[in-house]
Structure 1
């Protein structure tokens, strides 16, 4: 009964899909059924302007000047010469002349001219032609069961003449009697049928699984997509080619299930947070490993070094089977980037030009009414026990007008600071020029990129220069050498972004042209700071590698690689004496901070692949060595005599106060690599992977760790009983289990360490040398010197075990394809800090303790809803859900664990005291996700003093207009024992939807991205001008907003928690591919990013960091881009 019902549902679905295809096909995509009239060669003329003597060059020019296409072997014609006069030629005479001079025969069939060498005995010229007469051909296209296929494409080979089949699978087309018809349908093998004068033709199409032969890059090799046993998502360049972003993170956001990318800032050049399947560690990095063209280059921050226009594809390795071959570096997943290479036998020059205009997605929430602003300010000060400010008085040399002066319009200033501190529609530029060429021996690709991003703030911009060179050469038929070099230069100006919220009653300048300052400690004048402060940074990153592949025998390949990565950044800062806090305190302060990294990776491995009947074997065996050296230096100068040269003249500072510090960090990693693949009968696949890592970061007893993984896969669609269902085009089940590690600690945690620190005592600076660091406040007498860094000789690897179950299936001739994964990750032996008694002389020690679990599901649905000759429409839906849980906090007496007196829940404070406003409200709680919010519950606003006292509040907290905190334990007192969990910044799930369509030369897409069910701790909830008028007053006894009060002791509570869910129209694209000569490809497109966000969040942007805290800033930017891609 159930099987019959299922078949009925499937049949009805097929009919619905076919009907949709037919309607769109008939109305929008019927191909032109006529063909051009053909003439004899003697009736055709062509203009020849070729000045060379190469036959190949002449043929190329004739092709471009006529409708003919020449078919020949390059090898046969490479050395052929011909000499012709320029001018108009009869086509028949031209071909005869070519025949004689180059000793070739030419045969024309319609628009195709075939050229072949002739023997010395044959008489020349030898030119023949055959012109076919069109006939009307009718026919039927059916699937392998005989069921008609509506919407199938029927095309005359080598022409644009074509049509599509109707509901009954029938077609009619006018073609020549000797034409060949190419019949195609999504999910089936295209078939070529010779007309041979027939007027009726029946075509039977077979299912096509060749799309599953698509190659997917994995660690130290590549496999067919159909043969994947692990969880890997591939994102191709064509899916994101028009997105106006200078970073790979920007184009990947929302494009792969399990990949979470958070854009933390809208400032130019800002990096993003990248996670694969959640957070797995507390102390180390949660960034995935980034691999470019086979070479590991570090964490996700290194993605900024890659120009998105240079990318061919990106693979996201998510489960242990896929990432375990990278061992300790793959614990957080792996992102593999494959850059573009030249197409075989072609030379191209490509230009990609984008111009972008930015604007805010919402209006700025600023004070526009000076009267209301000053009234509320006075009210807030009075409620806090301070005298009102705006009463027409002078304070510290600054006059503060009264409310009456502002009301009658006599006050002359109402400065719109946002107009001064923000640019109006800044324009950014992104230009990429690529030259590529290849032949049988050499493949060459060179690209250069120039990117400028003008931020919304004045003096806040980012410029990036990037070039990518890739050359591969076949030294011998079995030996290929590849060289690649990627260079990225970044320049950032961070001087803007200050005080657009400044008091509008203050002018920019005094009457004498000097800056207006509201007292001696005014450190928020945006124009003064922009004009006088220096805050710039420069970076240089170089990635170079050499790769040698030696095919020893057809089944065995040896690969040896060497990679060198260099990074350097310099931060220049100068804080002037007058306008900045640091500069005033130090009488001018200059800093030059230098960071550099040298990273070497050497790898060699063997790949063996063999097929024996129904058995297929693959083995990878190799080793890897990596060494990283990081140096830092910091120069500081203070007490400047002259500020003219700023930090370009540090000797202008007081030499007795100059500071010089430096750091050195070195570690090594040696590894052994092994992977074995076995496939039986193209149905059952097995993979075993292992990696042994030895790290210099750990002690002698724990340097080495072994990370194994295994995976199995079953291609169920290859079974006869599945084929008999006529339901699945693909059905594959996958399962994997594996272990990976994390070495995310300082290289010297296992050793005793000495450090140098300056501290202030009895009126003088003292240099102390000891094992670790100093804890205290610099500049205070009597400071306690406490050394950190107690050695941890037993420190070992943090390990993550992961299990994954997945299924891939395709239906309706693969028009619907889906991938589903369920996973669980268990991370044990967390690397975290152990608190030590002061009597030990140390404060902290790194130990292995605690565990975290991540569980989740991933779903990707890809539907080709309509596929006709001229019109295509498709959709991709991605759903991702991850549940993160702290399953072990470690030993309470050693890791600072606190027990909740009410629930018995154990937790650790994450960051500073949670009692202080703006301090972290996040904790690590046993049995809860990481970073949950912990604080007080509120029950509206206290309306009377009696109500406040009854609620257990005391002192000022019991006054009317204050938050009414809930007495959780009913002890009659509101204190720290009444804190509970109040929110969770981790989303319930994330989803995205991409809709794309094309009609002839036009294409369009719209991309939605959403995050659902997460909480945001909005620290700016009550600071916004639009909220403050809603405050509690005796005349407005609201339960939504407290009264205004300066100096309030604000507690972390659920009042600050908001729903952070959002759905964003992230990208809308409209493009047109121009009809140009076939040597030139050009595409014009318009793109809108961050078009609109649907959310209940009350501030600018709900997309915040992993801790869920919103700190303000300015709204997300909407970007309008005009782009042009040209290739010739």
Structure 2
């Protein structure tokens, strides 16, 4: 008992000392203009304890003991440290902007990163501010336009709900997936584009082209841009090799927002706006002579019966001013043990075509918890519900899509319903497109859940050794329902014209999961060297199951599948399992010499030999020269080089000979298909060498990045003809190779920096050229609709994106193939110019983009010519002899030369522009930061292209057959009024 009394006395005597040994520190974090920096991180060095600044840049925390070092960090600024030894209430910490982003932390492995100043390869990065800081974004992929070099980002159409194609550093496959791999918080994010069965109505893939042209959206559209903290784009194999057999098309790593220690942060944002057609083509003017020439005596009778009246059908179809609404609420905060981030976005956008639009609701919850001193846990959850009404557009072979029917119908034909709502038949085309617009349905509905987690076990940490065991993974699960309703009352469905109505109901259930476990060991022997070693295992499972039910001979106005006279079912399953390992060693000598070597080994059920490991190595070296020099003007001078390999799977099922169902006198069975499976098929492989130089001038107020790369894509897979003696007509083989060479140049600068003015400027320039270096089969045409209209041609020694067609005496025609070279889809170059100008509380952001060169196969004018409706039909600037009008010249060219159908798709546009103003804090008693502004997308567009928009692809995300224009859903421009409040 006596001992307990002594212990209690000791505690009582020491308690005041313990309480006294704390320092209370409060103050403000500001930038070089003394403007408060909100939500900067203020942490006690070597501790989890810390806080973040509020909306006015203020912070407060308690430092235990007699003082310590405060580490202050914020994105876009150089980290700084402040030593505090006494209590203070007015500490001012000034941060210097990281002009060249050299202290930006960039991924170098599955669980390691380094400062941008030490990178040995080019990595594109897009911050939250760059992504959504100027104007609201409908989808993540659309938000990436022009924001980093080395990519061609283009919209396949303007239909609500997305549909974006991204190609990084050129063509990487002829038939395989051409879109990059998306990883969100460590979870492999499915980005499939799934057809709805609409081809049953359009028959677009039944004549001439075997590719589907249903214009589905791609599923990365589900990701909410407002949730994203940062995006890193691994453009080439030298960076993406660590992801192995899925990475030859590049990798996009998405990191979502997290909470920070400190008081709860509440963000509320609201924007409203309108979108409208990007470019109007106008309507052809008519008289009796033109009507007789276009539609004959029957057409003239219709014209005269209507008194020569015409209708502005372009405005009727594309003239909607779609209302756009975006509401955002987010709450974040935490302490030294727990941090949280919760966000909700509601988006509701009407399209520029009546009865089209896109609605999405997204919920996100991110939690980080320090369970013990040695165990941390992170959990990410995201639920998305979206609904897109996309209209019925693109190519068809039945003249039933709204686009084809519209360009085929002269403006003097009355398509409007009568007083009872009955639509007249179109006398010239099988479809009344007004009736189709008002009565049909083409809908996509998505319910998606993304769950991810990461556990970090800090096994050992001291001044020399740091060992962590990390496990992470996640589940990506969604259901996609597609619904196409073509009621029996439609002109092309009734009276024996079609199938007396059709229902297209599709359901796709996707379940993907991935798991990784690895160890990361850092050795710092305090001799200038730092060694970082990591190794681990990885497993990925994919399961996609699509069922499309097509019902015809509908009963009355019923839209249930069981209320139909006939029904057919198609099912497609894609199931794959991948397993692999990875190992990597990084060596850093005094931030002067940084080297990395690594390898990835992968095996997959999609390979010919599912148990065979394919290896993907990577090497890189960066040398910061400046420490060896004495050049006061320079703040950075680095040379770098990297080499890496990555893979791309074969099309699913290519290793097998498929079975097709058959019926023999009422008995069902299966037949072997005419395509032979390839048991020895190997994955496509990309090998890339990258060299570059980075420089910083005048304390990094000017930064320059130069990158050259050569990328060889080998073992490209094609379906080729096989000898008839095999019993098959076609088969899959590794038969080709493509080489891409390119240059990327980035220039960042702060031309103006005063207490009131600041101008940040960034210019990116990039160019890629491709060449077919191996082709084990005869040269062949691919994509589009054949040589008479222009098509792509794969030919050894030539560009992989060359466009050829049949030619006449006026063209330079190859005497063997009778084909002439008319263009190339690859741009001559791309240039983007991003400007951020601040003056006091005003901020102006402008993103401009110039694409020079690159050709499209534009067939929309020709289809308009066949209907006599082309806006430029009567102009005379195409015929070299000056004899024929434009419409007559294009029609006369059909079957004789493809020259007029291949057009330059250059453009200049202001992709984003935004002006905002931060209202005086005193108006809100310094408890909130309120910003109001105006913004717009694609408000200024300059191009001579003879259609709605040069950014278009009738064939969606196909690797080769992009840049084809066939009466698409037109693109839109939009403007928004925005307000955000932060507490």
With the length of structure 2 as denominator, give the TM-score of the two structures.
Answer: 0.81
| Unmatched tracts of structure 1, length 5 or more | 1-28, 34-59, 77-113, 115-156, 158-177, 188-207, 382-386, 393-399, 772-786, 898-906, 939-950, 952-964, 971-975
Of 932, 944, 967, the match for 1:1084: 932
**Shift in Å, 1:218:** 3.9
The SS at the match of 1:421 is helix
Of 604, 623, 636, the match for 1:730: 636
What are the within-5 Å matches in structure 2 for residues 533-612 of structure 1? 533-554=440-461, 555-581=466-492, 584-612=497-525
Which residue in the other structure is 2:135 paired with?
243
Pairing 1:469–2:365 present: yes
**Shift in Å, 1:380:** 4.4
Pairing 1:460–2:365 present: no
Q: Which has the higher contact order (CA 8 A, sep 6+)?
A: 2
Distance 1:523 1:881, change over 3 A: same
Q: 1:922 touches 1:1107 (CA, 8 Å); kept in 2? A: no
Distance 1:553 1:967, change over 3 A: closer
The SS at the match of 2:243 is helix
Pairing 1:692–2:601 present: yes
Q: 1:551 touches 1:558 (CA, 8 Å); kept in 2? A: yes
* In 2, Cα distance between equivalents of 1:986 and 1:733: 29
Which residue in the other structure is 1:314 paired with?
231
Distance 1:437 1:1088, change over 3 A: same
Q: 2:805 touches 2:820 (CA, 8 Å); kept in 1? A: yes
Which residue in the other structure is 1:705 paired with?
614
**Shift in Å, 1:487:** 1.5
**Shift in Å, 1:1095:** 2.1
**Shift in Å, 1:552:** 0.7
What are the within-5 Å matches in structure 2 for residues 959-1038 of structure 1? 965-966=810-811, 968=813, 977-1022=817-862, 1023=864, 1025-1030=870-875, 1037-1038=882-883
Distance 1:271 1:875, change over 3 A: same
* In 2, Cα distance between equivalents of 1:710 and 1:69: 45
* In 2, Cα distance between equivalents of 1:376 and 1:930: 42
**CA-to-aligned-CA distance 1:841-895 (integer Å, 9 cap, x gap):** 42321111110010001011000111222210121000011011111122x3xxx
Q: 1:588 touches 1:640 (CA, 8 Å); kept in 2? A: yes
* In 2, Cα distance between equivalents of 1:885 and 1:542: 41
Distance 1:71 1:851, change over 3 A: closer
**CA-to-aligned-CA distance 1:258-315 (integer Å, 9 cap, x gap):** 1221122222112210111111111111111111112222448443222111111111
**Shift in Å, 1:71:** 6.2
* In 2, Cα distance between equivalents of 1:255 and 1:847: 37
Which residue in the other structure is 2:659 paired with?
754
Which residue in the other structure is 1:1041 paired with?
886
Distance 1:282 1:69, change over 3 A: closer
* In 2, Cα distance between equivalents of 1:855 and 1:1045: 36
Which residue in the other structure is 1:927 paired with?
797
**Shift in Å, 1:837:** 3.9
Which residue in the other structure is 1:1071 paired with?
916
What are the within-5 Å matches in structure 2 for residues 375-454 of structure 1? 375-380=289-294, 388-392=297-301, 400-402=302-304, 410-411=307-308, 413-454=309-350
| Unmatched tracts of structure 2, length 5 or more | 1-30, 36-50, 68-81, 83-88, 193-217, 394-401, 954-960
Q: 2:303 touches 2:413 (CA, 8 Å); kept in 1? A: no
Q: 2:890 touches 2:900 (CA, 8 Å); kept in 1? A: no
The SS at the match of 2:900 is helix
The SS at the match of 1:212 is coil
* In 2, Cα distance between equivalents of 1:813 and 1:1032: 54
**Shift in Å, 1:229:** 1.9
Q: Greater shift after overlay, 488-497 or 1007-1016? A: 488-497
**Shift in Å, 1:1064:** 0.8
Pairing 1:214–2:101 present: no
**Shift in Å, 1:1112:** 3.4
* In 1, Cα distance between equivalents of 2:567 and 2:970: 40
The SS at the match of 2:888 is coil
Which residue in the other structure is 1:53 paired with?
none
Distance 1:421 1:711, change over 3 A: same
**CA-to-aligned-CA distance 1:736-790 (integer Å, 9 cap, x gap):** 11211111321x33234323257xx9xx99855122xxxxxxxxxxxxxxx2332
**Shift in Å, 1:1039:** 6.3
**CA-to-aligned-CA distance 1:452-483 (integer Å, 9 cap, x gap):** 12101011111111111111111101111111
Distance 1:440 1:186, change over 3 A: closer
The SS at the match of 1:420 is helix
Larger Rg: 1
Q: CA RMSD in A?
A: 3.3
* In 1, Cα distance between equivalents of 2:600 and 2:258: 30
Q: 1:290 touches 1:302 (CA, 8 Å); kept in 2? A: no
Q: 1:694 touches 1:704 (CA, 8 Å); kept in 2? A: yes
Distance 1:833 1:525, change over 3 A: same
Distance 1:582 1:883, change over 3 A: farther
Pairing 1:73–2:62 present: yes
**CA-to-aligned-CA distance 1:367-390 (integer Å, 9 cap, x gap):** 3x342xx53242246xxxxx5433
* In 2, Cα distance between equivalents of 1:447 and 1:489: 14
* In 1, Cα distance between equivalents of 2:952 and 2:584: 40
Q: Greater shift after overlay, 1014-1023 or 1079-1088? A: 1014-1023
Which residue in the other structure is 1:676 paired with?
585
Q: Greater shift after overlay, 920-929 or 854-863? A: 920-929
Of 240, 246, 251, the match for 1:323: 240
Which residue in the other structure is 2:951 paired with?
1103
* In 1, Cα distance between equivalents of 2:122 and 2:59: 46
Which residue in the other structure is 1:338 paired with?
255
**Shift in Å, 1:1016:** 2.3
Distance 1:259 1:766, change over 3 A: farther
Q: 1:230 touches 1:319 (CA, 8 Å); kept in 2? A: no
The SS at the match of 1:869 is coil
The SS at the match of 1:662 is strand
Q: 1:459 touches 1:493 (CA, 8 Å); kept in 2? A: yes
Of 704, 712, 729, the match for 1:826: 712
The SS at the match of 1:379 is helix
The SS at the match of 1:586 is coil
**CA-to-aligned-CA distance 1:899-918 (integer Å, 9 cap, x gap):** xxxxxxxx21103762454x
Q: 1:599 touches 1:626 (CA, 8 Å); kept in 2? A: yes
Distance 1:803 1:496, change over 3 A: closer
Of 100, 111, 125, the match for 1:234: 125
Pairing 1:625–2:465 present: no
Which residue in the other structure is 1:21 paired with?
none
* In 2, Cα distance between equivalents of 1:1033 and 1:185: 58
**Shift in Å, 1:936:** 3.8
**Shift in Å, 1:530:** 3.5
Q: 1:692 touches 1:704 (CA, 8 Å); kept in 2? A: yes
**CA-to-aligned-CA distance 1:38-89 (integer Å, 9 cap, x gap):** xxxxxxxxxxxxxxxxxxxxxx9xx99xx9999662889xxxxxxxxxxxxx
Which residue in the other structure is 1:128 paired with?
none
Which residue in the other structure is 1:223 paired with?
114
Q: 1:186 touches 1:815 (CA, 8 Å); kept in 2? A: no
Which residue in the other structure is 1:908 paired with?
780
Q: 1:484 touches 1:546 (CA, 8 Å); kept in 2? A: yes
* In 2, Cα distance between equivalents of 1:740 and 1:68: 45
What are the within-5 Å matches in structure 2 for residues 806-845 of structure 1? 806-838=692-724, 840-845=726-731
**Shift in Å, 1:1114:** 5.8
